[in-house]
Amino acid sequence: MSSDITFLNPDELLKNPAFSQIAITKGNGSTIYIGGQNAITKDLEIIGRGDIALQTEYILKNIEIGLNACDANLADLFKLTIYIVQGQDVRKGFEGAQSFLKKLSNPPVITGIVVAGLANPDYLVEIEAVAFRKDK
């Protein structure tokens, strides 16, 4: 049995090119959970203070690094959960995600949550990801 991710957007639900409504994983493989990523380097430097677009872009690069470390790639990504600090312009965050999302053959299932704050007051957004890597 081969592994696969199927993306569904039923006609009765909203269709949006930025995200899918449903993702189904099946077959032989591994599910990869990437914990909440922030715009921080391995040397503890915060990237994009005050700029949600820049922070979003950097976070998504970190997620891609995490996938690569698991012998996975962007094609394996199927779920993002995005935590946005209250008062931030979601549209600017989405602008920061555009170059990343354009790399995906299928837009992932996305949940956006507005929160009062994150672990560091300089963090404007945090993103966690789930991917499914086929067995080789």
| pTM, 2 dp | 0.86
Residues 36-80 have pLDDT tens digits of: 999 999 999 999 999 999 999 999 999 999 999 999 999 999 999
pLDDT of 1 reads: 37
Number of domains in the chain: 1
User: What percent of the chain stands above pLDDT 90?
Assistant: 67
User: Tokens in use for 25?
Assistant: 């994983």
- Domain ranges, residue 15: 4-134
Read off the CATH number of the domain in which 52 is found. 3.30.1330.40
pLDDT of 26 reads: 84
Residues 1-11 have pLDDT tens digits of: 344 788 888 89
